[in-house]
Amino acid sequence: MALQSSGYISLNDVNVELGNSGTANINMGSADVRGLFGVSSGAITMADGYGASSISWYGGRGVFGSGTVVGWANTNVISYITIATTGNATDFGDLTDTRYGVASCSDGSRGVFGGGYKGAQLNNIEYITISTTGNATDFGDVTVARSRLGACSNGTRGIFAGGYMDTSPYTRDTIDYITIAVTGNAVDFGNLSLSRRGPATCSSEIRGIFAGGYASGNTNTIDYIVIASTGNAIDFGDLTVARNVPAGCSSDIRGVFGGGTVSSDTVDYITIASTGNATDFGNLTVGRKEFSACADGTRGVFGGGDVSNVQVDVIDYITIETTGNATDFGDLIMGTSWTAACSGG
């Protein structure tokens, strides 16, 4: 999960986050505590641990990159937020080229953006170092050039799944993977249970989840993979509402899916380690599609989107382990749909 983002943090909380017994002896100056709190030397306060997670691909910074802006031009702009606070996004840098329909994942340190569309389907993969600011660098290529794909990670592997091509069969069931810490081309992983574009994604340390999207129509299909292996996706259950291009995020326990066609404000959730149908969670502040989400393990943040063919700069958030409606967070630096997001720090 993650330590809470405000209030009292106990030593029991810290032990549990580190995978120890809640009553184990703890040294606040130890390497594991310093790594969790992000304080390499000197005094540590409990407030340093707000939002901290032992799950390696979570982090305090959320990053949004690429997409389509007002006027239907593509952008390469990357912006970022601090997930545990609220406020407007800040400029981070640029992707190597303008495009939309990109998917993104991270290992907590490196954020990776793959695929997309700019006059043709693209196979580009590029990366950033999330804790710094600056422009993206070439990483390699996905196995099949496509846009409107989904991505997730277990902190080591990045997974790209589904997508759209300009030639038959148009929607794809392709799953390929990379090792995020090592640059190079993606490798075949297997296939989704249903060919589709625009799935929402989330993950735990074990499973990658793909929910919704568009096949021959909007779908409610949820399927999953075991990220550390290879092979085809397995049926998980169904969303509460069939919809295309929702956005997904998660803690290590719960996956949450928001929005989608047509400008839905629906938020529903699953327990990642089990199988079964999604359950109602609440509603977004603004119903929308073609947007993205990231998380710090406690808070899930949804940014951008399309409302009645208008790109919006809306950012709203939820607390993943509770249920309820989203709350206003701030604004992206411009209205953007088809943006991709990841987190780290």
pLDDT tens digit string along 148-192? Answer: 999 999 999 999 999 999 988 899 999 999 999 999 999 999 999
Predicted confidence (pLDDT) per residue in 248-265, tens digit: 999 888 999 999 987 799
Task: Tell me what pLDDT residue 182 has.
Answer: 95
259 and 296 Cβ atoms separated by less than 8 Å: no
- Which backbone phi and psi does 15 adopt, to 5 degrees? -60, -45
Predicted confidence (pLDDT) per residue in 92-125, tens digit: 999 999 999 999 999 999 999 999 999 999 999 9
Q: Give domain status of residue 312, yes or no.
A: yes
Same domain, 157 and 44: no
Q: Give domain status of residue 330, yes or no.
A: yes
- 128-133 contacts at long range (C-beta below 8 A, 24 or more positions apart): 128/63, 128/65, 128/78, 128/92, 128/93, 130/59, 130/61, 130/63, 130/80, 130/106, 130/342, 130/343, 130/344, 130/345, 131/59, 131/61, 131/344, 131/345, 133/80, 133/91, 133/92, 133/93
Same domain, 132 and 190: yes
Tell me the residue type at 311: Q
Same domain, 180 and 107: yes
Q: Give domain status of residue 18, yes or no.
A: yes
Structural domain range at position 205: 61-344
Task: Tell me what pLDDT residue 4 has.
Answer: 80
Same domain, 81 and 40: no
Same domain, 30 and 177: no
Distance separating alpha carbons of residues 42 and 272, to the nearest angstrom: 38
Same domain, 87 and 38: no
Q: Compute CA distances 235 → 154, 175, 226, 257, 273, whole Å.
A: 19, 15, 12, 17, 13
CB count within 10 Å of CB 86 equals 16
Same domain, 28 and 137: no
Q: Which stretches of 59-108 are assigned E, i.e. beta strand?
A: 61-69, 74-82, 90-94, 103-106
Domains: count for the chain: 2
Distance separating alpha carbons of residues 72 and 145, to the nearest angstrom: 22
Here the CATH number for the domain that contains residue 136 is 2.120.10.80
Same domain, 19 and 140: no
Which positions ≥6 away from 297 have C-beta within 8 Å?
A: 1, 2, 51, 53, 55, 58, 251, 252, 320
Tell me the residue type at 77: V
Answer yes or no: is pLDDT of 55 > 80: no
Q: Give domain status of residue 201, yes or no.
A: yes
